[in-house]
Chains A and B, each alone.
Chain A
Amino acid sequence: MRITTITTTGMTMITTLLDDFLIRAALAGVGLSLATGPLGSFVVWRRMAYFGDATAHAAILGVALALAFDLPVTFGTLVVALAMAVTVATLAARGWAMDTTLGVLAHSALAFGLVAVSFVPGARTDLSAWLFGDILAVSRADLAYVWGGAAVVLALLAWRWQALLTTTLNEDLAHASGLDPARERLILTVALAVVVAVAIKVVGALLIAALLIIPAAAARGLSRTPERMAVLATLLGAGAALAGLQLSLWQDTPAGPSIIAAAAILFALSAMFGRVRRG
């Protein structure tokens, strides 16, 4: 759809247009990975993969509600994602069986979201964009949200970095050092909701968790410290975003899945390289 529309316009126009939306798309991908690299590392370390899924799936419900009440979509996704993230974190703290609880919540949120979206006129046609992302259609405002959200998440993580790492390592140890593990968990919860809210446009609700986990997992085998893993996850995530974008542009494949596919290839390469290095 994008490329065909573009080829109908004049040659010079194409170049400038291409430049413009491509640069926006590239900037969105890179901006997002600034947040998903470090946050995704925490998701991997703390085994929060399902948690990420539940929060991201809830965002679809947020889209439906925002459209129905004529509110900004980012606001809707942020509120609903935050509500889901806090619910999950609270249940986890109360000792609920997380595997089952998250399975129920993640899929129910998605189902309710999809049902709700079908009631909103016009939204149905855009559904695949919310599910799989539409990075090539990122507007200037979207870009501002992505970078703003990434900056908030990065600032939160940088501010609490030492405390978050200690809590992740062992909550008793954190407590004995005068930290409050519950507070650190809440910070990760909020950061996750913010990332979901700004990432939905780029990779879509179904694949946000993948963007968090796959680059971090790929970085693991190449890292000896948590900081190096977070930085590498960021670089690999940005690389995957650019490569996926390229593929999407070139073969007109859906952008979100293309980005995740590129990340998965990087993961496979890292796993092979890591094995060779280990001998």
Chain B
Amino acid sequence: MSGLPGGRGMSGLITAEHLSVRLEGQAILTDVSLSVQPGEIVTILGPNGSGKSTLLRSLLGIVPAASGRVTRRAGLVIGYVPQRLAIDRTLPMTVRRFLSLPRRVADRDAAAALARVGVPEVAGRQMADLSGGQFQRVLLARALLARPQLLILDEPTQGLDQPGEAAFYRLIEDVRRETGVAVLMVSHDLHVVMAASDRVICLNGHICCEGTPRVVSSAPEYRALFGLGTQGALALYQHVHDHSHDAGEGHAHHHHHDHGHDHDHHPA
């Protein structure tokens, strides 16, 4: 028994066990346990400042754990797309050059990766001159060139319009189907990632709820987190319905307390 949600424990590519992170004396993450399995797409949802980026950076080993621990499978290759990547204007950098950092890649592979993410024409352009959508796609192309077993994407659709966002998530799904890569990503909007996620984790300094997108979308913790209210009887019915009939769809959310901060973080 690992004490992890789902009890899948150490078979995961990357696992956090009772992870707590403090930054400048502030508790940012408290007792977070999660695990990502090979080939799985997991989305982390949460309001601004809820610690999503900090969780990813802690999983990557950039931010140290105050307590608990992070385990990565030996030899795990991760492709990472950070939330913010400001390229200083003083640093000249073509897209082609960027793709070869830090590991040099062949021209053919670079061209194929750019084509795969739908921006074959930008190889010679300066990174600083790309549009928001092109920039995010180039970041994804670079992450894919490492041939990762796990992609960690922090708000990868920022700067994309809605159709662009939907297309981006389809692309992620296609890549997963082709390569079997697992994906752990951060998003704001459950409904956009619904189709593309196997599992959703709601985060607000701690894990509020967890499960399939459908289950999470009706969990009271999720609705409270995003200030959605209960939206009347239909949502309530949906919730009960999900709970009673979709038990196999995922281990749903945690206990349903009336109040917001007293969750049990272990599976029932």
A interface residues, Cβ below 8 angstroms from B: 44-45, 47, 162-163, 165-166, 168-177, 179, 217, 220, 223-226, 228-229
Contacts and interface: CB of A to CB of B under 8 A. Distances in A.
B149 to A, nearest CB: 13
B185 interface: no
Contacts of A45: 88, 90-91
B60 A176 contact: yes
Interface of B: 57, 60-62, 78, 80, 82, 85, 87-88, 90-94, 97-98, 100-104, 126, 146, 152
Contacts of B57: 172
Given A47-B88, A175-B60, A169 B78 contact: no
B82 A223 contact: no
A60 to B, nearest CB: 28
Given A166-B101, A179-B102, A225-B97, A172 B92 contact: no
A276 B153 CA distance: 40
Contacts of B102: 162-163, 165-166, 174, 177, 179
Contact of B91 (A162, A163, A168, A176): A168
A51 to B, nearest CB: 15
A168 B85 CA distance: 11
A214 to B, nearest CB: 13
B92 A225 contact: yes
B93 A225 contact: yes
A177 B145 CA distance: 12
A176 B92 contact: no
A175 B152 CA distance: 13
Nearest to A225: B97
A165 B101 CA distance: 8
B91 A226 contact: yes
A226 B92 contact: yes
